[in-house]
Amino acid sequence: MSQLNKDMIIRLLSEENNEQNLWQQADRVRQENVGDEVHLRGLIEFSNVCRNNCLYCGIRKDNKSVCRYRMSEEELVSTAEKASQMGFKTIVMQSGEDMYYNKDRLCRIIEKIKKFDVAITLSIGERNYDEYKAFREAGADRYLMRIETTDKELYHKLDPNMSWQHRYECLLMIKELGYELGSGIMVGLPEQSIESIADDLLFLKEIEVDMAGIGPFIPHPQTPLAKEAGGTLELSLRTMAVMRLLMPDINIPATTAMESLHPEGRIKALQSGANVVMPNVNNSEYMKLYELYPHKPTQGFSQSDIAKKIESIGRCIGKGYGSHHRKV
Ligand code: 5AD
């Protein structure tokens, strides 16, 4: 099944009347390869300051109506401690590209958080080799950075002043340094074709990601793309399901953006190939300020709510770190 070629992928992505079958098939492949455990990651969005100006993103530099925040070292470490006490075995540290957190500062933070016996995932964008290496040596285990799209022309339209090639090279550096690599895309970007999404999926397979995050693009009113249509939940779920068929044993999160389009979006995702959920552990004031797209949940879940939901669909919460185990 992981032999799907581009034409077959395009067909699966296009066939709206076959999507229920596709979702079920991805659910089966998920169960056979990674089992019924759902791994939870405690997400800390620690700064919404960003040097970039991606046209789609609510925290782009030119959005002057965002009130910017930055957690202090102490606050970030204590939030991580709280998350570990809640039972999270992975902490995801995410922020805009905020250079206030330089190499030394981040290494210090990583070393402190590592003492809580958790896996650490960084999601802080493009840095240089020396920094990636230092973070890895300080104890970071995984790195998330979406390629967003493999259509280079579209990428450069969407991310002025950024280079697709540079981002790609960052992903290769991260992999070489022995991080577990997470990447992914947005679905439903302006001018993005189904064919281009098929290329994206083949790209993620080619670079052998350990984790693939796929979510709909949701237009943010304070960005240049405010009037665009955005992606649908259904196409995002089909894309995610095909990803599961292509890479049966990787980690695939049920993304928050899916929940923003439908109250049960993440549950649907868990039943269509996903096996990871990343609950936000920030307080709701910070959550409101980290508005990448509208209707992003600004309320955390309690642990017991999450457990109940997961158990209600016959699944259980993962007990370990939830690392990727390659089957072949
Ligand atoms: N809609 C959906 N996803 C978005 N992201 C940023 N802006 C949006 C948006 N408007 C995603 C990008 C980024 C991740 C952190 O959030 O894919 O990599």
Q: How confident is the model at residue 3 (pLDDT cuts 50, 70, 90)?
A: confident
Q: What's the confidence (pLDDT) of residue 160?
A: 85
Q: Please give the distance, rounded to the nearest whole angstrom, from the Cα atom of residue 212 to the centre of ligand 1.
A: 14
Is residue 139 a contact partner of residue 109, using CB atoms and an 8 Å limit?
no
Q: Is the CB of 88 under 6 A from ligand 1?
A: no
Question: In whole angstroms, what is the distance from residue 184 CA to residue 269 CA?
Answer: 15
Q: Is the CB of 89 under 6 A from ligand 1?
A: no
Query: In which region does residue 35 sit, left (phi positive, over 0), alpha (psi from -120 to 50) or beta (all else)?
Result: left
Percent of the chain with pLDDT over 70: 98
Element (H, E) at 276: strand 276-277
Which of 4, 37, 36 has the alpha carbon at shortest distance from 22?
4
Residue ranges in 207-323 assigned as alpha helix (H): 233-246, 256-261, 265-270, 284-289, 303-312
Q: Collect all residues with Cβ–Cβ distance below 8 Å to 170 and sequence separation of at least 6.
A: 126, 127, 132, 145
Give pairs for 255-258: CB < 8 Å, separation 24+: 255/213, 255/214, 255/215, 256/215, 256/280, 256/296, 256/297, 257/186, 257/215, 257/216, 257/217, 257/218, 257/293, 257/296, 258/215, 258/216, 258/233
Q: What tokens appear for 324 in the block? A: 């990727």
Q: Collect all residues with Cβ–Cβ distance below 8 Å to 163 and sequence separation of at least 6.
A: 156
Q: Is the CB of 267 under 6 A from ligand 1?
A: no
Q: What's the confidence (pLDDT) of residue 86?
A: 93
Q: What's the confidence (pLDDT) of residue 207?
A: 98
Q: Which atom of ligand 1 is nearest to the CA of 225?
A: 10
| Sign for the pseudo-dihedral over CA of 160, 166, 168, 174 | negative
User: Which domains, from first to last, does the chain contain?
Assistant: 6-310 (3.20.20.70)
Q: What's the confidence (pLDDT) of residue 1?
A: 53
Q: Is the CB of 148 under 6 A from ligand 1?
A: yes
Give the three-state DSSP class for 187. strand
Question: In whole angstroms, what is the distance from residue 198 CA to residue 146 CA?
Answer: 16
From 205-209, 249-253, 262-266, 298-302, the region with the lowest mean pLDDT: 298-302
| CB count in 10 Å sphere of residue 32 | 11
| Sign for the pseudo-dihedral over CA of 256, 260, 261, 266 | positive
Order of strands across the sheet with 276-277?
276-277, 37-40, 316-317
pLDDT in tens, 265-300: 999 999 999 999 999 999 889 999 999 999 887 766
Q: Is the CB of 257 under 6 A from ligand 1?
A: yes
pLDDT > 60? residue 219? yes
pLDDT > 90? residue 182? yes
Which among 53, 56, 239 is the best mutation to test ligand 1's pocket, defined by most ligand atoms within 8 Å of the CB? 56
∠ CA 308-39-71, rounded to 5°: 100
Please indicate whether residue 261 or residue 160 has the higher confidence score (pLDDT): 261
Q: Is the pTM of this model over 0.75?
A: yes
Average pLDDT over the chain reads 96
pLDDT in tens, 106-132: 999 999 999 999 999 999 999 999 999
Q: Collect all residues with Cβ–Cβ distance below 8 Å to 83 and sequence separation of at least 6.
A: 42, 44, 91, 118, 281
pLDDT > 90? residue 306? no
pLDDT > 60? residue 236? yes
pLDDT in tens, 39-74: 999 999 999 999 999 999 999 999 999 999 999 999
Q: How confident is the model at residue 234 (pLDDT cuts 50, 70, 90)?
A: very high
Question: In whole angstroms, what is the distance from residue 293 CA to residue 305 CA?
Answer: 24
Q: How confident is the model at residue 2 (pLDDT cuts 50, 70, 90)?
A: low
Q: Please give the distance, rounded to the nearest whole angstrom, from the Cα atom of residue 293 to the centre of ligand 1.
A: 7
Region 96-105 average pLDDT: 98
Q: Is the CB of 188 under 6 A from ligand 1?
A: no
Is residue 165 a contact partner of residue 174, using CB atoms and an 8 Å limit?
no
